[in-house]
Amino acid sequence: MATRPTVNGRVYHLMLKPNDTAPYALLPGDPSRVDLIASMWDEVKLKVENREYRTYVGTYRGLPVMATSTGIGGPSASIAVEELASLGVGTLIRVGTTGSLWASVKVGDLIITRGAVRLDGASGNYAPLGYPAVPHPDVLNALITAAEGLGVRYHVGLTATTDSFYVGQGRPGLGGYLPSWLRGIISELKSVRVMNFDMETATVLTMANVYGLRAGSVMAVVANRETDEFNPEAGVMDACRVANEAIRVISEWDRQYPNVEVKSAAVLKGVYRPL
């Protein structure tokens, strides 16, 4: 039917069937990052590719896990989340790249989002603008626990999600074009302690909250807007390692505390690292 399109029993965009999923899904934007994530698994059982969506399903340390690329931006990510949710996936972790607004949040560091400013359009199709885009406590704590355990340099902060990579994030377009209302966007976001730009986190978190799913976001800093540094590979391996390990942590908490929503009530030292 057109209202809920499927193709031979598969959801229309991801091309997955109901039995093709795992309870925990990692969501990089870039299809090639799915390969990197899955290279850390014990085994890969399934690969499906359609358009910008590449999916592997397998096991990490004996746990069922999947990774699906979302493509670039909230509209594409919203399709992935919508179809995964319809197939019963309950826990989602965005594994992305990002640009830091602060010199102290360096290229190669990781950022774990504790809330997102909704400058995207896709999340507005799911909830009014006053609705918070926040991670589930289980996922936030699991990502921090994983980063601490792996000894990687990370920060926990606020993310601004935009639909446009160039002018929407204060980068001049062709011929230096930049609308007047965006010329001061970086300084305005810094004045309210926003840490970074991305293009998917607010959409994923908003949808997860609306649908009662668990979601979070970990990103590798590949650009620094204050120092003007850029390295597209910096920290990406660490982000993938942390995301995979966070799945192990969440799974352990789920087994240990099956009837408790928040598995870790401990406040971890250094969670809110100053900029």
> Where in the sequence numbering do the catalytic residues fall?
13, 83, 171, 225
Whether 27 and 95 have beta carbons less than 8 Å apart is answered as: yes
d(CA 118, CA 125): 12
Whether 139 and 215 have beta carbons less than 8 Å apart is answered as: yes
Residue reference for tokens 């660490």: 238
Q: Where are the beta strands (DSSP E) in the chain?
A: 6-7, 10-11, 24-28, 43-50, 53-60, 63-68, 91-100, 110-119, 154-162, 194-198, 214-224, 229-230
Whether 46 and 117 have beta carbons less than 8 Å apart is answered as: no
d(CA 51, CA 40): 24
**Greatest CA separation for the chain:** 57
Strand partners, 17: none
d(CA 219, CA 181): 27
d(CA 240, CA 43): 16
d(CA 220, CA 91): 20
